[in-house]
Structure 1
Amino acid sequence: MDLLSDVITAMRRGQPHYARTERRAPWAVRHRPFDGAGFHLVLEGRSWLIPQDGSPIELRAGDLAFLPHGSAHAVAADPTVLPTDLPSSPLADPHQDDHPDDARAGSPTVMLCGAYLMNRARPHPLLGEFPELVHLPAHLGQHSSLRGATELLATELAEPRLGSDALLPALLDALLLYVMRAWLDERPRHEAATGWTAALHDPAIHAALQGIHGAPHRPWTVEELGALAGLSRAAFARRFTTLVGQPPLSYLTWWRMTTAARLLRTYDAPLKTVANRVGYTSEFAFSTAFKREHGLTPGAYRRQPASADPHTTDADRRATGSGEHLRSEH
């Protein structure tokens, strides 16, 4: 599992929601804030995205606007049109196709709107570095993979065929990763002097993070992680803390507990198996660390209703290994 995929796995919950809309001017709708990340992709025509704070941004065909923090905003045919609140979010109905009954003079605007629900209780620091709005214009020759994903999405929505219901969620997941990749690639290096963006571009710290994420069960020491990074213990500890925002072993514990929560919700493996998967040979030590991080014992956490916790997605199963592998460790 690579680091960017881990960021998504740590926060995502449930399936992405999406809706294809077609409207004719004049129109304007207001989207309320929500606990997740959303996007608007213009398939045909043009529109304006109006953030709660900031200037309106024109979106042309092929342009994508990504709102990583689920901020309130409006989308309109013209920024001067007064927006109306949606009676219910179109993102709630994955098969909605909005065709207004009244004939209007303006040319149609066709858009794909999507939403990814996120666990804000344990936000990954990388997502916190994203701005309120990311605008990715459809420039020729840029972000070819992102453009390919958007074209596939548009095709599946316009002409659903056998397998479309399975393809669309997968394409939406791919779109999220391509959007994040594009922003990371475009972010000026002088803005990434610190933080997770810099850590991903720093070969030494990136190597240490790969070690932690790839084998959270290992009894890592600062010296061993420093050796992976090719740095002395002191130099590594300073650089890691500066870029990641916490010392190496503190981040190791955070990632172990994030992984443990996902395993507890996704599988019925015994607590001992889960403890071993995240580096604890003692169930008591694991339970103590887990309660300190989550406020509940592992057993109580697992018994919570699934709707109360974010760690129950198909992506989790792909990220943490097969259920058969876990059951073999009973």
Structure 2
Amino acid sequence: MDVLTDLLHRARARTALVRQLVQRPPWSVAYAEAPALTVMATLGGPASIRVGREPVRLEAGDIALVTSRDYTIADDPGTAEQVTIRGNRKYLPSGEPTTEHWFLAPRTYGDGLPGAPVMLRAAYELHGEVSDRLLALLPELAVVPAGPRTGATLDLLAAEVSRDEPGQDAALNRLLDLVLVQALRAWCAESPTPPSWYRALADPGVGEALRLLHGDPAHRWTVGELAAKVGLSRAAFAARFATLVGEPPLTYLTGWRMTLAADLLRDTENPIAQVARETGYTDAFAFSVAFKRARGVSPSDWRRTVAG
């Protein structure tokens, strides 16, 4: 399993609320306390997105990945905010709640007039410590320019959004996952500072080692075994891994195990000894020492804290 697939799977980036806005200008919608990751795309016309102070123009087919909890989308940066969405409630600029909406079809809002641009928006609810690693890939706003690969997927997604047929949610989630993966690939490939492991995936030896570590993190890996698996000498493999990933193989593995352990402690009631075994430790005491070194608290204290 490659690193990006593992992150997306474990962060539970699989179910999202998908909506589309079909609205003639002027329009402007602010989002407050939004979910951790939002994917947006413009179809048939430009739009604007503002995170912080500086607005960014989105051309037709562009995809915006937003990790900020507060942002505004509009037809133009100069359009005043007309409504704020907070949670499941809508508020006027005065702060008064409103029930007014522009419902057109399933998952579709706006006036629906001919020639109105379409804004697709999907909000992902991510989960746990693994999601922090996924979100660390991105700034508060990452814009991926339109391209033929993402364009074809966006067209399919837009065609499905307003339908209401059996299996609709499954179809939407799979198409949206494809949009997200394509956008993340494009962002990492073009970013001047991509995550080190992303560059390392292209290396035959180190990329295969990363896949092995993520495929079976509980295995009692050694540097020698990993080197043999990828066909390199122990010294050459260790040096190459550290250069490309930024840390030695077993240091990387320990960090990933601690991330998995933190989520197991949060999400399950499994005994500490079982969590230790599931993350590659046969000795619960050794696991507790490693966890406290990584997180600053014991596993049991961590569990109590996140439960509270």
How high is the TM-score relative to the length of structure 1? 0.72
Match of 2:154 in 1: 150
Deviation at 1:115, TM superposition (A): 1.9
Deviation at 1:282, TM superposition (A): 1.4
The 3-state SS of whatever aligns with 2:254 is: helix
Match of 2:288 in 1: 287
User: Which consecutive unaligned segments of at least 5 residues does structure 1 have?
Assistant: 309-330
1:98 aligned to 109, 134, 141, which one?
A: 109
Q: 2: CA distance between counterparts of 1:109 and 1:41?
A: 11
Closer, same or farther: CA 171–53 of 1 in aligned 2, 3 Å: same
Closer, same or farther: CA 164–209 of 1 in aligned 2, 3 Å: same
The 3-state SS of whatever aligns with 1:86 is: strand
Point out the more displaced range, 199-208 or 232-241: 232-241
Match of 1:81 in 2: 79
Corresponding letter in the other structure for 1:70: S
Deviation at 1:270, TM superposition (A): 4.6
Deviation at 1:180, TM superposition (A): 1.3
Match of 1:38 in 2: 38
Query: Per-residue displacement from partner, 1:119-156 (whole Å, max 9, x unpaired)?
Result: 585666575344443333444xx32xx44442332222
Match of 2:125 in 1: 117
Match of 1:164 in 2: 168
Contact 2:130 / 2:263 at 8 angstroms: preserved in 1?
A: no
Query: Per-residue displacement from partner, 1:185-226 (whole Å, max 9, x unpaired)?
Result: x427xx469822211222222122112112212222223333
The 3-state SS of whatever aligns with 1:29 is: strand
Match of 2:224 in 1: 223
How high is the TM-score relative to the length of structure 2? 0.76
Q: 2: CA distance between counterparts of 1:214 and 1:26?
A: 49
Contact 1:12 / 1:118 at 8 angstroms: preserved in 2?
A: yes
Match of 2:199 in 1: 198
Corresponding letter in the other structure for 1:36: A
Point out the more displaced range, 8-17 or 147-156: 8-17
The 3-state SS of whatever aligns with 2:77 is: coil
**How much is the aligned-residue C-alpha RMSD, in angstroms?**
3.6
Contact 1:25 / 1:106 at 8 angstroms: preserved in 2?
A: no
Match of 2:190 in 1: 187
Closer, same or farther: CA 274–29 of 1 in aligned 2, 3 Å: same
1:108 aligned to 87, 93, 116, which one?
A: 116
Deviation at 1:55, TM superposition (A): 5.7
Corresponding letter in the other structure for 2:239: R
Deviation at 1:25, TM superposition (A): 0.9
What is the aligned residue count?
293
Point out the more displaced range, 191-200 or 40-49: 191-200
Deviation at 1:82, TM superposition (A): 3.0
The 3-state SS of whatever aligns with 2:30 is: strand
Point out the more displaced range, 12-21 or 218-227: 12-21
Contact 1:17 / 1:91 at 8 angstroms: preserved in 2?
A: no
Q: 1: CA distance between counterparts of 2:89 and 2:255?
A: 32
Query: Per-residue displacement from partner, 1:247-269 (whole Å, max 9, x unpaired)?
Result: 22121111112223334455555
State the identity as a percent: 37
Closer, same or farther: CA 34–226 of 1 in aligned 2, 3 Å: farther
Deviation at 1:235, TM superposition (A): 3.6
Closer, same or farther: CA 194–295 of 1 in aligned 2, 3 Å: closer
